[in-house]
């Protein structure tokens, strides 16, 4: 039986190391092998040396990076792509063109890794950030599967405004726990060990604050695949500001 693969899209810069480190940490959680991909017009000694250091095979291909990686990721055994989050000059913290274009095109998860990230050797905690009430439960299932492996803690962060959270009586603690259990049962089926954190405020600010507080290996968010130019505003801001890798899950 063919084992699943995670593609780690690397270049010859220092940003390639955290990309490979993130892919290596995710691999055992997803039951997959890592394959490094380097799109080049010639050369590739740095990428080759880095792939050798991590003990993963390297595929070097020519052509347009977006087209090449998209084509490779379409294979049935590929479960996701890990890529550097920014390709702009140092100091400009915006989602890079390649990373965003991959997220727009792919239905499979895309993990965006900031150039200064220090991924752990293994994934212990995953933060799933949710804004409002999810309209489609199935959009969470890919992220929920990350918690099914032993040793992975799943924290669901639900960010809302004051008007959308339930009102409580004098039994605040009991009712809060009941609300959390009901929410997880409804929207995170299959993740019995998950816990819910609720926050009120600006979604991107609350997500970044939770990342700083909980120190997850990565944070997962939905990425709307539509023609709306304002789509994914929260996800884009989180990718811009996050110091940990961000897993984007395609949302119709």
* Every domain of the chain and the residues it spans: 4-113, 125-251
**If you average pLDDT over every residue of the chain, what do you get?**
80
Helix (H, G, I), strand (E, B) or coil at 203: helix
Q: What is the pLDDT of residues 172-226, one digit of tens each?
A: 444 556 666 666 666 565 556 677 888 888 889 999 999 999 999 999 888 877 6
Q: What is the pLDDT of residue 91?
A: 45
43 dihedral zone (left: phi>0; alpha: psi -120 to 50; beta): left
Burial 121-137 (b: 16+ CB within 10 A, else e): eebebbbbbbbeebeee
Q: For the whole model, what pTM was predicted? A: 0.84
What average pLDDT does the segment 22-35 reach?
91
pLDDT of 168 above 60: no
Mean pLDDT along residues 65-78: 94
CATH architecture of the domain 125-251 equals 3-Layer(aba) Sandwich (3.40)
Fold of domain 4-113:
Rossmann fold (3.40.50)
Asked if domains 4-113 and 125-251 share a fold, the reply is yes
**Helices and strands (H and E) in the chain: how many:** 8, 10
Could you give the percent of the chain with pLDDT greater than 90? Answer: 33
């Amino acid at each position: 039986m063919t084992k699943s693969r995670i593609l780690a899209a690397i270049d010859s810069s220092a940003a390639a190391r955290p990309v490979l480190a993130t892919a290596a940490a995710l691999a055992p959680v997803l039951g997959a092998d890592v394959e490094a991909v380097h799109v080049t017009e010639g050369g590739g000694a740095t990428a080759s040396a880095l792939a050798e250091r991590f003990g993963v095979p390297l595929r070097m291909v020519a052509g347009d990076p977006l087209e090449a990686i998209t084509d490779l990721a379409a294979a049935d055994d590929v479960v996701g792509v890990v890529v550097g989050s920014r390709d702009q000059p140092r100091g400009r913290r915006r989602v890079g063109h390649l990373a965003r274009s991959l997220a727009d095109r792919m239905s499979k998860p895309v993990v965006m890794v900031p150039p200064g990230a220090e991924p752990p050797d293994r994934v212990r905690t995953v933060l799933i950030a949710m804004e409002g009430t999810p309209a489609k439960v199935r959009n969470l299932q890919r992220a929920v599967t990350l918690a099914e492996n032993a040793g992975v803690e799943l924290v669901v962060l639900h960010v809302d405004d004051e008007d959308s959270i339930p009102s409580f009586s004098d039994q605040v603690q009991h009712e809060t726990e009941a609300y959390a259990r009901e929410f997880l049962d409804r929207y995170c089926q299959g993740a019995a060990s998950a816990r819910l954190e609720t926050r009120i405020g600006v979604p991107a600010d609350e997500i970044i604050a939770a990342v700083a507080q909980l120190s997850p290996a990565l944070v997962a968010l939905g990425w709307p695949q539509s023609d709306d130019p304002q789509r994914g505003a929260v996800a884009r801001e989180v990718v811009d500001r996050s110091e940990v890798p961000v897993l984007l899950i395609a949302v119709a």
